[in-house]
Chains A and B, each alone.
Chain A
């Protein structure tokens, strides 16, 4: 029964995809809603059942579908295993996935390609489930590629706009770079451990020596994969562009689930990372650097979704920082809280955009709190959560990360940067909040007349997510409350040999007090700037000095273009004009010429004259005799 549930969880969204994918454009919306939302909802219920079984101490539940790849010594099954880690991911994917499906029924209501959108969403859920449920690296890789595909399809959902297609391609290509790292990592694992099955690899690895150079290389390769999927420096540039997709997609794929696949992978392979402190340090440094870097860009963005996108990149950096120092549970904790509040923020942004008739520039907004009360309140909760106001969820996870990084040997520098980043985070989030919901409306009269609160299908998911964004922190209370850390206890079987980093109670109290003061200060300052003095950001072209630099995202896109894209284009232009034309075509054509000419020559001897034919036969016989009797 349990194993059947394991099979059904990914199967239902797949069925939803297949059916809704084959429906035509005129298909009844109710039918599509029932099918796609229903399948994800049932998957969610099944995930809850599995979660409770694991909660009550059950062993991981597996289902083997088939003997998949049996080549030589390599034996890979297409099988699923649900343990504590996958179970949490299942809840996030199907739970938030379901809410976003519901939200989309309202948000995409007027979309002519309604069925296509929902079939892609279901396909995404299927692949994401595959990614977290596989019991070996190859199944994870299939899911990994599958979500990449769906991300591509959904970013370019409005494919009539070429800029959106470019964004989709960019996401795909950037992810491919990471995928190469993942693949090489897999090959190295296969080479080192002779298997790609999690259980086998981790069992073998737990007896391996620390600082084994091969394991370090494996970890770095896998981390490159994570860099692409989870949008970290230097492969982060696709995520802001991915905002071209419909907003529910940004919320589901580019905030709550897919981008956390890199985190999931590292937590899954925590045995390996624990064995390689060097790789761990690299992960932490990259995470901290990305967190700061993306946060500063977020300060100067004026597109409501772009701000959130950079914020996502930055928050993912926090998670990597936690993973790098060996605090895997803490990383997962932030994945959970972030999934709630970032999905919430994105959906609120979608609701705002919906009300603004597609306008995304915060300079044209303002004062929306009166017209969009529910969106306003829920967005405010999301802002408090991400900024880390106690007792909202972001506070607990972020403070835990800060505390763990602080305890990490030599982590003071990292801690300082992360602490500064959290101030910046609060700053850009409140800037966004004040500019959008307070002050006077700055849009045109058409937009003003059109402002309205979104329908129930949009607001109900917002309210539910807001509840979780506010309360999810309770699963990981800090030590000083003397309550059990529910998440850590639940995840304990999955995390093997990780170092223990415990902050003292006095440090935690200090952290809470300081962060409260700083947050209050930031709130006050941003209120002064953006509401009291109503300083509206200027156009990008009018920015000066360093802020111009920041507003242009440090010119990273331009840098990549000049350093990588242009030389590559030059090489491929050369190859197209010369190598393709002369070498490849030339070779092929000369073979064709040789064949045709040879054929024309040889057919000449077939004259039709019997005398010649018999002569030919005799020659043949003589040749045989000469060959066997005189040459032998």
Chain B
């Protein structure tokens, strides 16, 4: 299945597309089979299949979107190779059963991202973004690795099952908890939650928009899949201990992520902060730490990825044609490009979590999951902070529907419009039928 992806590298996007489609097919072929590979270091279960399908699907969507971005660039082959490489890392992150495999996956995806973030060689900001990402990422990797080492020191194993057994035996040494905090720190960094979020706005803004889109969807989803998998499979036994940290971090992330987004006038930066805030919501699924949590995380990741990829696809067009991502550029869009404005409005509404879009039901399902476990206070904070979110997600819509007599008309090809229509369709379908995703596992 994985070889499938490699064999098509360095070939045209069309072939990659079909390669990915084949991978998606083989992926579903493994449904409910529970195979283990590499001496039990990865296990394909349904959770990992749903998530790796999301990753592959997101890359397919990304490919459709990035086609126009790369049209007049010659580095597409390199980029596609690295993207596929990153995808492998992502898939490992969704299916690992061994801490070494987790580390390999994280590093595969991270290193690819460092390179891609800096890939716009002539742009100073892109270089800055790559360097910043690399420096801080290296720091976080160190923390993660240190944490893994400490856990290994206690348990003498990297295997998630063995660690879980160790945890359930009880009487854990101090060293174990120290390791747990360090692993948490590493995961927090990858997930981009406060106070480990620092890289997000700068890297998201500096990196080429297509790469930012990739980070916001594939990398984010992979990070949360691995986060969830690790803490559900290994550390559920001491959930009472680490959940407190997660609750605080999640609350802080939701409040401050949304709050910081409010005063952004650059749309790219706005989506960067919005991704921080959404990370806060997805942390709530890890707090739930059960099957319902897994389902709500999956639904949330699907909804968020779909909306983000649409939003960034729009930004690519905007930046390409107007050389700006300031929100003022949206003024009058509803009159010059009505269809596009409607699609973008649906995307933003989904991000804000307003029915009948996927974003609403993702939040709704997540909140009911948390309430059923008694985390009412956290849900109240989440609801209040998403109110702040509504404020800044609706602002671009208001700008679009303001009549400011702008002559600028974005040139949108039929295929891009079809792409936006597809994204909108996914959002609306998931909004009306969230059970498509929820009931899958």
The interface-forming segment of B3-11, B95-103, B191-199, B341-349 is: B191-199
Query: Is B262 a contact partner of A596 (Cβ separation < 8 A)?
Result: yes
Query: Is B189 a contact partner of A617 (Cβ separation < 8 A)?
Result: yes
Query: Is B263 a contact partner of A620 (Cβ separation < 8 A)?
Result: no
In chain A, positions 601-632 with a C-beta closer than 8 Å to chain B are: 602-603, 606, 608, 610, 612-614, 616-617, 619-621, 623-625, 627-629
Q: Does B354 contact A (CB under 8 A)?
A: no
The interface-forming segment of B132-140, B219-227, B298-306, B362-370 is: B132-140
Within the complex, the shortest CB–CB distance from B343 to chain A, in Å, comes to: 28
Give the residues in chain B near A621, CB-CB below 8 Å. Answer: 143, 181-182, 185
Q: Does B241 contact A (CB under 8 A)?
A: yes
Contact with A along B267-293 (1 / 0, CB 8 A): 000000000000000000000000000
- With contact pairs A610-B136, A625-B181, A628-B177 given, residues A617 and B263 touching in the complex (Cβ less than 8 Å): no
Query: Is A617 a contact partner of B391 (Cβ separation < 8 A)?
Result: no
Compute how far the CA of A482 lies from the CA of B322 in the bound complex, rounded to whole angstroms.
96
In chain A, positions 591-605 with a C-beta closer than 8 Å to chain B are: 595-596, 598-600, 602-603
Considering the complex, give the chain B residue whose CB is closest to the CB of A617.
Answer: B196
Compute how far the CA of A598 lies from the CA of B255 in the bound complex, rounded to whole angstroms.
11
Give the residues in chain A near B264, CB-CB below 8 Å. Answer: 603
Query: Is A620 a contact partner of B185 (Cβ separation < 8 A)?
Result: yes
Give the residues in chain A near B202, CB-CB below 8 Å. Answer: 606, 608
In chain B, positions 360-383 with a C-beta closer than 8 Å to chain A are: none
Give the residues in chain B near A599, CB-CB below 8 Å. Answer: 259-263
Within the complex, the shortest CB–CB distance from B440 to chain A, in Å, comes to: 27
Within the complex, the shortest CB–CB distance from B179 to chain A, in Å, comes to: 12
Considering the complex, give the chain B residue whose CB is closest to the CB of A592.
Answer: B391
- With contact pairs A606-B198, A613-B136, A617-B189 given, residues A624 and B184 touching in the complex (Cβ less than 8 Å): yes
- The residue among B201, B256, B260 with the most chain A CB atoms within 10 A of its own CB is B260
- With contact pairs A621-B181, A628-B245 given, residues A595 and B388 touching in the complex (Cβ less than 8 Å): yes
- State which of B181, B198, B259, B262 has its C-beta within 8 Å of the C-beta of A613: B198
Give the residues in chain A near B140, CB-CB below 8 Å. Answer: 617
Within the complex, the shortest CB–CB distance from A601 to chain B, in Å, comes to: 9
- State which of A598, A614, A628 has its C-beta within 8 Å of the C-beta of B139: A614
Query: Is A595 a contact partner of B259 (Cβ separation < 8 A)?
Result: yes
Query: Is A624 a contact partner of B135 (Cβ separation < 8 A)?
Result: no
Within the complex, the shortest CB–CB distance from A609 to chain B, in Å, comes to: 9
Query: Is A620 a contact partner of B196 (Cβ separation < 8 A)?
Result: yes
Considering the complex, give the chain B residue whose CB is closest to the CB of A621.
Answer: B185
In chain B, positions 232-271 with a C-beta closer than 8 Å to chain A are: 241, 244-245, 248, 256, 259-264
Give the residues in chain A near B263, CB-CB below 8 Å. Answer: 596, 599-600, 603
Compute how far the CA of A551 lies from the CA of B37 in the bound complex, rounded to whole angstroms.
98
Give the residues in chain A near B241, CB-CB below 8 Å. Answer: 628
Contact with A along B177-218 (1 / 0, CB 8 A): 110011011001100000110110110000000000000000
Considering the complex, give the chain A residue whose CB is closest to the CB of B206.
Answer: A608
Considering the complex, give the chain A residue whose CB is closest to the CB of B193.
Answer: A620
In chain B, positions 114-143 with a C-beta closer than 8 Å to chain A are: 132, 135-136, 139-140, 143
Within the complex, the shortest CB–CB distance from B149 to chain A, in Å, comes to: 16
Within the complex, the shortest CB–CB distance from B191 to chain A, in Å, comes to: 13
Within the complex, the shortest CB–CB distance from A194 to chain B, in Å, comes to: 28
- The residue among A598, A614, A617 with the most chain B CB atoms within 10 A of its own CB is A617
In chain A, positions 533-588 with a C-beta closer than 8 Å to chain B are: none
Contact with B along A351-379 (1 / 0, CB 8 A): 00000000000000000000000000000
Query: Is A624 a contact partner of B259 (Cβ separation < 8 A)?
Result: no
Query: Is B181 a contact partner of A617 (Cβ separation < 8 A)?
Result: no
Query: Is A617 a contact partner of B198 (Cβ separation < 8 A)?
Result: yes
Considering the complex, give the chain A residue whose CB is closest to the CB of B195.
Answer: A620
Query: Is B259 a contact partner of A619 (Cβ separation < 8 A)?
Result: no
Compute how far the CA of A35 lies from the CA of B198 in the bound complex, rounded to whole angstroms.
69
- The residue among B132, B143, B262 with the most chain A CB atoms within 10 A of its own CB is B262
Give the residues in chain A near B188, CB-CB below 8 Å. Answer: 620
Query: Is A617 a contact partner of B136 (Cβ separation < 8 A)?
Result: yes
Within the complex, the shortest CB–CB distance from A625 to chain B, in Å, comes to: 6
Give the residues in chain B near A603, CB-CB below 8 Å. Answer: 260, 263-264
Within the complex, the shortest CB–CB distance from B221 to chain A, in Å, comes to: 23
- With contact pairs A617-B136, A624-B245 given, residues A602 and B195 touching in the complex (Cβ less than 8 Å): no
Within the complex, the shortest CB–CB distance from A599 to chain B, in Å, comes to: 4
Query: Is A616 a contact partner of B245 (Cβ separation < 8 A)?
Result: no
Give the residues in chain B near A602, CB-CB below 8 Å. Answer: 256, 259-260
Give the residues in chain B near A610, CB-CB below 8 Å. Answer: 132, 135-136
Compute how far the CA of A178 lies from the CA of B259 in the bound complex, rounded to whole angstroms.
48
Give the residues in chain B near A598, CB-CB below 8 Å. Answer: 259, 262
Give the residues in chain B near A617, CB-CB below 8 Å. Answer: 136, 139-140, 185, 189, 195-196, 198
> Can you list 13 contacts pairing A with B, beta carbon distance less than 8 Å?
A599-B260, A602-B256, A602-B260, A610-B135, A612-B198, A613-B198, A614-B139, A617-B136, A617-B139, A620-B185, A620-B196, A627-B244, A627-B245
A-B interface, 7 closest residue pairs, ranked by CB to CB distance from nearest: A613-B198, A620-B195, A599-B262, A599-B263, A599-B259, A621-B185, A624-B181
| Contacts from B to A (Cβ < 8 Å) | 132, 135-136, 139-140, 143, 177-178, 181-182, 184-185, 188-189, 195-196, 198-199, 201-202, 241, 244-245, 248, 256, 259-264, 388, 391
Given A603-B263, A606-B198, A624-B245, 19 other A-B residues pairs in contact with their CB atoms under 8 A = A595-B259, A599-B263, A602-B256, A602-B259, A608-B202, A612-B198, A613-B132, A613-B136, A614-B135, A614-B136, A614-B198, A616-B198, A617-B189, A617-B196, A621-B185, A624-B181, A624-B185, A625-B181, A628-B177
